[in-house]
Structure 1
Amino acid sequence: MIIDRRTLLVGTVGSAAALAIWPAFAAVPPLKKKDTYKVGFAQTESNNPWRLAQTASMQDEAKKRGCQLVYTDAASSAAKQVADVNSMIAQGVDFIFLAPREEKPLIPAVMAAKKAGIPVLLIDRSVDPSLAKAGEDYLAFVGSNFIQEGQRVAEWLIKTTGGKGKILELEGTIGASPANDRKKGFDDAIKAGAPDMVILASQSGDFARDKGRQVAETLLQAHSDATIIYAHNDEMALGAIAAVEAAGKVPGKDILIVSIDGEKDGVQAIVDGKIGAICECSPHFGPKAFEIMYSYAAGDKIPPVIINPDRFYDASNAKEMLASAF
């Protein structure tokens, strides 16, 4: 069956409810210009340093601007995050910042906000573009170029190893845009640039440290000839370090580990020689997200996609950049 926007909504909430949340606005709802706003921030989870840093950034900026922030934590549940957004709508927020846990399940929440006349800005993760469109169903997406992150890690790996190695890939949350794109960017770059490199296995560690450790242990047992671990985030990479050590091998020597995010523990692991390289994915969304909201209220045209610049860490700069990592 082909899944389109109507099919997804009907399948998710039932025929009558689906018709009820079709947007009343042809485009993104307007935002009245005011000095301060009541805004919602629907966070996906709070189980790692990246999410905690992002939440702190949003809370700090809301306080700085005198905005009332309605904050929710979906606790790694897409269903709860949809309910969180519906609660914000019921509370009459002016604007919603949404970090969607998964690409498809959050579509009804985006559409419900639009129908209620509340603009939504997607931050750090996006939704399926075939089901909801930036500049039409929601204001914009602001975040990193996840495909490029995967590409940059792959390019460093190819250059460092001479294009040789056997890779285990620890994927992020199934259905999440960073996991999908970081896999695509990395896998495509390896395939195109290093025919002598092979991805032995690829499995989700759900962006979590302990899950990453467990998956890495299993994959290392099944593929004792692996020489590289590519993790979609630092938490899983740090879990992989423990798995490599438990297998009696030396991370950074027997197994080269590469990752994405740039959290302080990850950058420290580069300094310690246990991780080879990390492409940054900054969690500091507060200033940019609120700037976009106020610019939209002022009548400025907002680009549908706004990409954050990300740094790259390896042994050449990790020590000097450690203090600025989150």
Structure 2
Amino acid sequence: MPMSRRSLLTLAAAAAASPLASALAQGMPPLQRKANYRVGFAQTESNNPWRIAQTDSMRSEAQRRGDAFVYTDAAASAAKQVADVNSMIAQRVDLIFLAPREERPLVPAVMAAKRAGIPVILLDRRVDGAQAQPGRDYVTFIGSDFIDQGRRAAEWLDGAVNGSARIIELQGTTGSSPANDRRKGFADYIAAKSGMRIVASQSGDFVRDRGRQVAEALLQAHPDATAIYAHNDEMAVGAIAALEARGRRPGQDVTVVSIDGTRSALQAIIDGKMGATVESNPRFGPKAFETLDRYAAGETVEHWVKVPDRFFDRNNAAQLIGDAY
């Protein structure tokens, strides 16, 4: 018996409301709803507390849910991370969580996953927006507002030094979205402050020892520097060691401000060696898998799932250090 026009319209509406149709309408690979998933997590590196805490959070949430967890560590190599994603594609995981080391080199990996029908969710770092976009080439970006982090660090420093400072900037990984945005947020704020000037800026690659080495060289070239802005706590702790090696007193002779909110940084604040740090929350697990479930259910996922970040200084560091990583 042929279907009535009303029945056909009802079926068409039901199909359009399905997760498959929702994903296809966006040009995105679908994700079928399942009791458990096999997910990939392509981590950029594991050489600092922030990355370790992020990985632990992702793995713990996968285990809690009973999902299979395929993990790779790119060891700070964009080329290896591309190969890692390609390996996950070959293994036919259901979805890939990717923390891109750099914005441009990881675009081909995102596109390869899309062509293979595997959705990608970016964590904590973006890829080049001119080449790949959320909602079209990958599901979404989950992460902090890095520009705002830089601005908050600059705002605090401005108040701490009464609007006058000669600043050394320790940048993160060249070409990464946190380094680009944390620099912009800081620079945009101090641009209107005639007494605030960056006298030297160089990458320490988000690594403590590299931050120490770069700080040593820049302090030697600029002995009159009065402040250090580090793009992460690991480099800030390295800079504190460099200051002490030169006989300068961090927190007194030179004001140090940073981003991340690690236990080491909070302890440095308690010890009076660091002024403040803006949190960059690494505990992505619950939010990442919640977003996976929303996408599988056919919900419209916003292009940027923001992670809220706290601020630590001498007013709350001692109280909150027990919660730090």
**1:127-182, Cα deviation, whole Å (9 max, x unpaired):** 11111000000000000000000000000111121110100000000000000000
Number of residue pairs aligned between Structure 1 and Structure 2: 302
Aligned to 1:162: 162
Alignment of 1:1-326 (within 5 A): 27-192=27-192, 194-326=193-325
**1:263-321, Cα deviation, whole Å (9 max, x unpaired):** 10111100000000000000000000000001110111100001110000001111101
From the CA coordinates, give the structure whose radius of gyration is larger.
Answer: 2
Per the alignment, in what secondary structure is the counterpart of residue 159 of structure 1?
helix
Compute the displacement of 1:25 (Å).
Answer: 9.2
Distance of 1:159 and 1:222 partners within structure 2: 26
Per the alignment, in what secondary structure is the counterpart of residue 253 of structure 2?
coil
Compute the displacement of 1:28 (Å).
Answer: 1.4
Per the alignment, in what secondary structure is the counterpart of residue 30 of structure 1?
coil
Distance of 1:190 and 1:283 partners within structure 2: 27
**1:206-230, Cα deviation, whole Å (9 max, x unpaired):** 0000000000000000001000000
Equivalent position amino acid for 1:58 in 2? M
Structure 2: runs of 5 or more not aligned:
1-23
Per the alignment, in what secondary structure is the counterpart of residue 39 of structure 1?
strand
Aligned to 1:20: none
Distance of 2:25 and 2:317 partners within structure 1: 48
Structure 1 ranges of 4+ moved more than 4 A: none
Aligned-residue CA RMSD (Å): 1.0
Distance of 2:125 and 2:167 partners within structure 1: 26
CA contact (8 A) 1:25 1:115 kept: no
For normalisation by structure 1, the TM-score amounts to 0.92
Equivalent position amino acid for 2:250 in 1? P
Equivalent position amino acid for 1:226 in 2? A
CA contact (8 A) 2:26 2:135 kept: no
Distance of 1:25 and 1:48 partners within structure 2: 40
CA contact (8 A) 1:38 1:93 kept: yes
Equivalent position amino acid for 1:82 in 2? V
Equivalent position amino acid for 1:162 in 2? N
Distance of 1:279 and 1:130 partners within structure 2: 29
CA contact (8 A) 2:266 2:321 kept: yes
Per the alignment, in what secondary structure is the counterpart of residue 40 of structure 1?
strand
**1:45-88, Cα deviation, whole Å (9 max, x unpaired):** 00000000000000000000100010000000000000000000
CA contact (8 A) 2:173 2:203 kept: yes
State the identity as a percent.
63
Compute the displacement of 1:256 (Å).
Answer: 0.5
**1:193-243, Cα deviation, whole Å (9 max, x unpaired):** x21111000000000000000000000000010000000000000000000
Aligned to 1:13: none
Structure 1: runs of 5 or more not aligned:
1-23
Equivalent position amino acid for 2:71 in 1? Y
Compute the displacement of 1:325 (Å).
Answer: 1.1
CA contact (8 A) 1:238 1:266 kept: yes
Distance of 1:86 and 1:175 partners within structure 2: 22
Compute the displacement of 1:26 (Å).
Answer: 6.3
Equivalent position amino acid for 2:102 in 1? E
Distance of 2:203 and 2:284 partners within structure 1: 26
For normalisation by structure 2, the TM-score amounts to 0.92
CA contact (8 A) 1:30 1:117 kept: yes
